[in-house]
Structure 1
Amino acid sequence: MTVDQLWIILILAGAMAAFALNRWRTEVVAVAALSAAVLAGLVNFSSVFAGFSNSAVITVVEILMLTQLLARSGLVDRVARPILSRLASERQLILFLACGGAGLSVFMNNIGALAIMLPLAYAGCRRLGVAPQTVLMPLSFATLLGGMCSLIGTPANLVVSGAREENLGAPMGFFVFAVVGLPAVLAGLLWLGLFHGERGARGSGGGEHPREEDEAVERIVFEWPVSKDAAWVGKSLEEIEREESIEILNVVRREEFVFARRDDIRLQAGDIIVLAAPHRLFDRLWKGDENSVGDHRAWPIREAVVTPSSVVLGSTVGSIAPFDTHSVEVIGVRGANLRVDGRFADIKISIGDVLLLQGDDDAFAGALEQAGCLALAGRSDTPPGRITPFAAIALGCGILLSATQITPPEIAFGLSLAGMAIAGAASLPELLRRIDWRVVIMLAALIPLAHAFETTGAAAAMAGPILQLALSDKVMLALALWAVATLITPFLNNVATAAILAPIALAAAEASNASPDMLLLAVAAGASTDFLTPFGHHNNTVVMGAAGYELRDFLRRGAPLTVITGVVTVLSLAIFY
């Protein structure tokens, strides 16, 4: 093994370790790895920014912009809500959401599909009285499965296609990924429908709250001033917690925290308490006469989830500038990893946290748009507004041009955006401002690294052990590559996994009698088989925070689906190749 090969392997191994630790932003890790490769002489200065002109990166940017437009159009919401109103059981709701999420993910990025389906999921849960944690994990898994079916379903597929184009002269076809993706989706949906909807919904209408056994993960953290007439005055914390099934996190008296044994602290009028309570108690306190909140009580309470691209990430509740600007107040937070060390205003916001907001209707939409948060089904849902079908038409035209290979994908979707801009249906500067540039920068930084991994011969050197392990059998090779991708994607991400393994797959194909497409599809499928952890993919992170899942929930529910996906993937590749 040469010095250059050792250097690139060490750099990529360091990047993988940094991704897995999850202590630094992904784009920072990717740029640092690229910088190290440049300093080591593995990437030329002229190639440092080549990733930004790569067709995969350009296509990702265009799809992110089109997804924004489709999410705002109201078209999916208007089509889906009549169907949602006819659902009568938990299993029907799960299947509807899973099919919708998988279908949308075929034609847009995974997080965009989840963003469109989340409000519908919450609306369905409230109508049927189903706890969100019952349906959100199947929805997330379905969006990941759907992304396996097309070129634009996930950036990892674009990376794999780009590797093929660079080495073999032509990219992957638009729906070539469906060879493994479609069987995996069908098998996955069957599993999700049969084994994630065991309980029927209690009641078929008007469900306002989750079932009592699910309320623990639906608890809202908020702050409440104790009035002189409150029933809790004079009672100890332990007594109140036992009676109300809540947790009192902190007590503030005359601007100072009260520290003592919990059974010795008795609430007084004027105290401010920070507590975690179920929806029913939150509603009773916030809307009841005992809580003096003035005219704000007449304003509806709405919910919004913090997305990976939100500008409020890392901010405290009391310092969210977009909400202050629009006079929207955060009155509660629900999330899986909330850490409360002080007052409610000191809580830091993370991906997937659900914010309970109150403010004027006119200001609400502007505040959420500026903050980059996604509105969920509120307590007083409003019907979708005027349908704007231009985004769906533009996306459809781009898919048609790309799928028929009339134009390359980056040109097809570029024409779609240009047409919408000319027609006045899209503001390109505004769309560009709202893109999650972390994904774009990470992808652009990883592409030169992947090229260096291949040109130094390191990919071929790494392919050797895999060939020996698989005894050069093409089916065993596909299984080995799928397994490696599946094992590392939860700790990296699907883009990094595809960028690292695609050159190895091509080198293995060249050294054996296997089809390059067969092995590349195994890598792409493995990179998207991310059902075991909440931190491998943003969609899993979002639903973890929104529904209160734990790591063991993903392991318990995701392990069978991972096995099913692997079996279906390898069988499909063996049949078609």
Structure 2
Amino acid sequence: MTLQQGLAFGLIALTIGAFIWGRFRYDLVAAVALVAGLILGVVPAEAAFDGFKNDVTVIIACALIVSAAFARSGIVEAAMRRVLPLLKTERSQVPVLTGVVTLLSMATKNVGALAIMMPVALQVARRTGSAPSRLLMPMAFGAMAGGMVTLVGTAPNIIVAQVRQEVVGQPFGMYDFAPVGLGLTAIALAFLAFGYRLLPRERHSAAVMNAALDENAYVTEVSAPDDWAPGSMTVSALMRSGEGEVRIMALIRNGRRRPNPRGNVVVKAGDILLIAGEQQGLEAFLATARLKLVRENRPIATESASEEIAVIEAVVGRNSPLQGQSVRQSDLYGQHGINLLGVSRSGYELTQHLRTAKLASGDILLLQGAEQSLPTALKALDLLPLAEREVRLGSRRKRFLPAVVLAIAMILVGFGLVPVAVAFFGAAVVIVAMGGLKMREAYAALDGPLLVLIAALIPVSGAIQQTGGSELIAGLLRHVFSGLPGVLAICGVMLASMAVTPFLNNAATVLIVAPIGA
């Protein structure tokens, strides 16, 4: 063993030890390892940042953006709404939800697939009283299993494909993992169909979860569009489409308010409905029932064409001039150029016309406005912004765009017409350019720590190969397993990877072990 090989092995060993210790962030550990490799001379200076321009990093980043756009589109939730009422017991809920997330993870990144389906699973749990843990954990395992089927399903697949290209000159294709991945996925789904019974039945009761969500229930106004078919929908039919997530508080027609309208009342074009619900449920309800927010139609003035429209939540402060004023008197749109989309008041449900409701300290307002001017308006009105979370109500969605673009990208890759990195980079750019995802949302979708981890470890893991360390270990393995079937050597590498993975990020494990296995 040469000095350089010893330094490379020592660096890898210390890096693995730091990962297992868990005292520091894994992206910081990877960055420090890269700097140490440069100082020790096992990582050439000209190769230090190869990981940041590597196809692996590009593919993972673009796959995260495409997955976020897919989740943002709401196409899966819309397709599932007809199926959800049939899922009354855990026996049917677990296989269906796990199966759907498994299929999604084959096309999008497994983390993105799980993010798409988690709100659906929580909605099912709230409606049926099922324990959320008994739905979510099988879905997590299903997402991991489905990610093994295609190249872009999970980061390790992409990394292994890159290692193969460096060794034999050709990477794995989009569906080269399918023969093994499909078999493992089928076994996993068969086990999860009954294995969920081993999980605890109750972690948090449905009643507690519903109570927590109801604290953030908003009251807002929606209207039936002009093309609303006469007699096409009654109040009770609308309530059913809301699946218990939305309550109709009042119906306003020709300026007259009808509180708690009867179920047989027919909703006509131009009618205004006062509805209440948690913002995620409201958004799904609007999409299904083809209703529009009353105040969403007023245009928001922006300083430039590139400025985005944001929707935020803010609390009315003690010294806010809005206290005691009605929405009409406050004239938020005229004075500050912002729309009030909804109001949430703890322990009290608003039943009057939203524009006549008097605001009070502690009310939570759902506001829509230009991203750059919102902070100024909040300060002037003494409104306290809540901790930032994803608020989709009142924002536009391109339902079919991400699915169509993703399908085209996968077809192009499947037929070998374009490289994976080019296809997914193009897909991400097209989706953002056509409004399927805002630039802010695209940047937020990027998992910075994961990308830094991979980009920093690519040259570090390459140090073993560049110093001849991988050949040294391969020679030792050949000596140990000489005279034995080659499959035992493969099993040895697999067992080593499986032993380390619980303590390391799976992508980090592959980056370290793959050059040795190759």
User: TM class by shorter-chain length?
Assistant: 0.5 to 0.7
The secondary structure found in structure 2 opposite 1:181 is: helix
Unaligned 5+ segments in structure 1 are 200-212, 221-276, 288-297, 305-323, 330-355, 377-381, 507-577
Alignment partners' CA distance in 2, 1:86 and 1:123: 13
Percentage identity across paired residues of the two chains: 29
> Cα distance, 1:133 vs. partner?
1.4
Say whether the 8 Å CA contact 2:213–2:278 is kept in structure 1.
no
Equivalent residues of 1:328, 1:364 under 8 A apart: no
> Please, which of 204, 209, 228 is the counterpart of residue 218 of structure 1?
204
Q: Distance in 2 between matches of 1:26 and 1:482?
A: 23
Shift of 1:278: 4.6
Please give the secondary structure, in 2, of the residue aligned with 1:82: coil
Alpha-carbon distance in structure 1 between the residues aligned to 2:109 and 2:388: 17
User: TM-score under structure 2 normalisation?
Assistant: 0.65
Asked if 1 retains the 8 angstrom alpha-carbon contact of 2:102 and 2:142, the reply is yes
8 Å CA contact 1:145–1:181 kept in 2: the answer is yes
Matches of 1:116 and 1:463, distance apart in 2: 42
C-alpha change, 1:72 and 1:141, in structure 2 (3 Å) is same
Once the two structures are superposed, what CA deviation does each residue of 1:470-489 show, in whole Å capped at 9, x if it has no partner? 44522212222221111111
**2:498 alignment partner in structure 1:** 486
TM-score (norm 1): 0.59
The Cα shift of 1:144 comes to 0.7
Shift of 1:385: 8.3
Q: Counterpart in 1 of 2:83?
A: 83
The number of equivalent residue pairs is: 376
Provide the residue aligned with 2:406 in structure 1: 395
What are the superposed Cα offsets for residues 127-173 of structure 1, whole Å, 9 maximum, x if unpaired? 22211111111111111111111110111111111111112111111
Note if contact 1:174-1:402 (Cα within 8 Å) is conserved in structure 2: yes
Alignment check: 8 A CA contact 1:98 1:139 kept: yes
- Measure, in 1, the Cα distance between the counterparts of 2:408 and 2:396: 24
1:147 corresponds to: 147
Q: Does 1:327 align with 2:331?
A: no
Question: For residues 192 and 373 of structure 1, what CA distance do their matches in structure 2 show?
Answer: 32
Q: Is the 8 A contact 1:328 1:357 kept in 2?
A: no
Matched ranges for 1:271-282 at <5 A: 278-279=208-209
Partner in structure 1 of residue 111 of structure 2: 111
Aligned to 1:414: 425
Q: How far did 1:357 drift?
A: 11
Structure-2 change in CA distance of 1:159 and 1:373 (3 Å): farther
3-state SS, counterpart of residue 362 of structure 1 = strand
Larger radius of gyration: 2
1:100–1:466 CA distance, 2 compared to 1 (3 A): farther
CA distance in 1 between partners of 2:510 and 2:481 (Å): 20
Displacement of 1:419? 2.8
Distance in 1 between the 2:100 and 2:394 partners? 19
What pairs with 1:331-480 in structure 2 (closer than 5 Å)? 360=364, 362-363=366-367, 373=389, 388-428=399-439, 430-471=441-482, 472-480=484-492
* CA displacement at 1:91 relative to structure 2: 1.8
CA distance in 1, matches of 2:84, 2:95: 11
SS of corresponding position for 2:153: coil
Query: Closer, same or farther in 2 for the Cα pair 1:418/1:71, shift >3 Å?
Result: same
Please give the secondary structure, in 2, of the residue aligned with 1:100.
Answer: helix
Aligned position for 2:94 = 94
Cα shift at 1:59: 0.8
- Give me the whole-angstrom Cα distance separating, in 2, the residues matched to 1:383 and 1:132: 28
| Map of 2:36 onto structure 1 | 36
Q: State how far apart, in whole Å, the 2-side matches of 1:198 and 1:493 are.
A: 26
CA pair 129-454 structure 1, distance change in 2 beyond 3 A = same
Do 1:142 and 1:185's aligned partners in 2 also have CA atoms closer than 8 Å? yes
Residue 495 (1) aligns with residue 507 (2): yes
Decide which moves more: 384-393 or 97-106.
Answer: 384-393
Q: CA RMSD in A?
A: 3.7
Shift of 1:425: 3.7
Structure-2 change in CA distance of 1:283 and 1:375 (3 Å) = closer
Q: Which runs of 5+ in 2 are unaligned?
A: 218-274, 282-310, 317-343, 347-362, 375-384
Displacement after TM superposition at 1:179 (Å): 2.2
Go from structure 1 to structure 2 and tell me whether the alpha carbon gap of 1:302 and 1:197 turns closer, same or farther (over 3 Å shift): farther
Distance 1:147 1:19 in 2: 24
Using the TM superposition, give the Cα deviation of residue 303 of structure 1 relative to its aligned residue in structure 2, in angstroms: 8.8
Kept after mapping to 2: 8 A contact 1:77/1:384: no
